[in-house]
Amino acid sequence: MSIGPVQETSATFVGMPAFPEAAREALANTQQRTNLRNATHTIRAKRASVVAEVPEWEALRVAGAQSKDEALHHLGDYLEHLEASLVANGAVVHWARDADEANRIVIDIARSKEVDEVVKVKSMATQEIELNEALEAAGINAWETDLAELIVQLGHDRPSHILVPAIHRNRTEIRDIFIREMGKVGRPAPDDLTDDPAGLAEAARVHLREKFLRAKVAVSGANFAIADTGTLVVVESEGNGRMCLTLPETLISVVGIEKVLPTWEDLGPMLQLLPRSSTGERMNPYTTMWSGVHEGDGPQEVHVILLDNGRSHVLADSVGRQALRCIRCSACLNVCPVYERTGGHAYGSVYPGPIGAILNPQLRGTASEIDQSLPYASSLCGACFDACPVRINIPELLVQLRGTVAQQGGHRAESAAMKAAAWVLSDPKRLAVAQKGATTAGRLIGGRTIRSVPGLGAWTDARDLPTPPKETFRQWWVREHDGRDGDGQARGRADGIPGSEGGLPDSDGDER
């Protein structure tokens, strides 16, 4: 497989400020922070409970990671196998290098059916390519049918969570959106609608029902694509996906190329890992599988668009490719202290949180301010790795990406600091001078805490600067042993380099 280009930043996120600036605005929204904390802590507790029920959980994580790695290491072969299986089952397979190609294929199919609307299953791939916006520009309405996606769409908002796109909204806000917007695009919300969850769900159900029943074309993604059998799999909780995947005459599925699994047996661990990690359920309520066209049953025309859009570029990185194992469960978001406080909009992508911080800079490259800043949107606490069901080492990738950004000249202050450190550490005399300066400062400061340093405001605003030691190890050794070992012989330097007369260098670099 050839190495593909990076993904073009979609129109919605072009010009987004760097993460710190966007996060600062999000942190000022007290209501949003409250909503996020309540939601993420609820999901986190449910996940922990159902994961604890599975003694072989770690073995499942390993099995899931191995299945994805097998597919990624031989991706070209498995994709060709998947295409052959799909075609044998009566599906039409399309290949899309980028968002424009994928959107054009969907629009052409919809126009060939002479429809002005489609219903949609929740799909990160279609959000990534901004399919709704492309369809609207072509005069075709795209109706989101997932409850959270419906809230986001009616609210003219952007998703802020992979699994729960409207996690930043509370029930009162949702009621107001339904009352204000539903009547503009279909059946209005009842006048006496309250913020009772059952009432809100019923209003959405009634609003969507007429759209399900009249739609001729549906658009979906897929959680998994089995190469052996040509089976696509969607897991969901509301039943809207089942309606979209079975009622319309034509089904179009936009599937990222990393969603392929080699065999049917590889699906087993995934169907245990995904629901527990995402919604904290032992099993998701609806699992729909389809494999091509079946006469008299379901859509009679099935199109599958296999989407690259920067994934080949990620695949070319032997370390970074583990990000393509992601099964979009959102477990890393729900345990991330940074996401919990900022929400998803600050990440400048449909992929927020820790997985977004490693996926976006790889898919889109690190040319923009937002993509340069994302690897730093983490405390490196490691909670994301512990929660990831397919063992993506997110902290490792964050550090690697920070190195990439620094080498490219991004984060100028950090780059300058690293170059200065390399210059000092590469020469023993420079290091000794620096140590002498540090210990002198340490003696002057004494036991006081350094709370701010001119020029390091962004760093010291959030944490104290470590107090310099009053004495280095070398200085301590010289003081305690006078530069001699137990036999009274002059010792070499602590770094293993003998002095000119076998003595230990003084703190200023001179030999004693």
Structure confidence by residue, pLDDT tens digits, 103-120: 999 999 999 999 999 999
Q: Which residue is it, tokens 């309520």?
A: 285
Contact present, 61 and 273 (Cβ < 8 Å):
yes
The two tokens of residue 400 are: 């690697």
| pLDDT single digits (tens) 389-442 | 999 999 999 999 999 998 887 667 777 777 888 899 999 899 988 988 888 888
Residue 500 predicted with pLDDT over 50: no
- List CB contacts of 278: < 8 A, sequence separation 6 or more: 163, 284, 328, 329, 330, 331
Three-state secondary structure call for residue 236: strand
Ranking 188-202, 371-385, 414-428 by mean pLDDT, the lowest is 414-428
Q: What is the DSSP string of 177-204?
A: HHHHHGGGSSSPPPTT--S-HHHHHHHH
Token pair, residue 433, equals: 């001078």
Instruction: Tell me the β-bridge partners of 253.
Output: 220, 304
Sole residue written with tokens 């710190």: 20
| Separation of alpha carbons 512 and 64, rounded Å | 60
Residue 483 is predicted with a pLDDT of: 61
Lowest mean pLDDT among 85-99, 301-315, 418-432, 496-510: 496-510
Q: What angle do CA 231, 235, 239 make, to 5 degrees?
A: 115
Report if pTM > 0.85: no
Cβ atoms within 10 Å of 496's Cβ, excluding its own = 6
Q: Which of 408, 417, 335 is nearest to 373 (CA)?
A: 408
Instruction: Report which of 126, 164, 155 is spatially closest to residue 39, judged by C-alpha positions.
Output: 164
436-464 confidence digits (pLDDT tens) = 888 888 888 887 777 777 766 666 777 77
Percent of the chain with pLDDT over 70: 91
Question: Taking 70 as the threshold, does the pLDDT of residue 496 lie above it?
Answer: no
User: What is the three-class DSSP state of 294?
Assistant: strand
Q: According to the 3-state scheme, what is the secondary structure of 34-89?
A: HHHHHHHHHHHHHHHHHHHCCCCHHHHHHHHHHHHHHHHHCHHHHHHHHHHHHHHC
Query: Does the pLDDT value for residue 349 go beyond 90?
Result: yes
* pLDDT tens-digit readout, 261-300: 999 999 999 999 999 999 999 999 999 999 999 999 999 9
> What's the pLDDT at 364?
95
Beta bridge partners of 505: 511
And the tokens for 375? 């690897």
What is the rounded CA–CA span in Å between residue 120 and residue 134?
A: 14
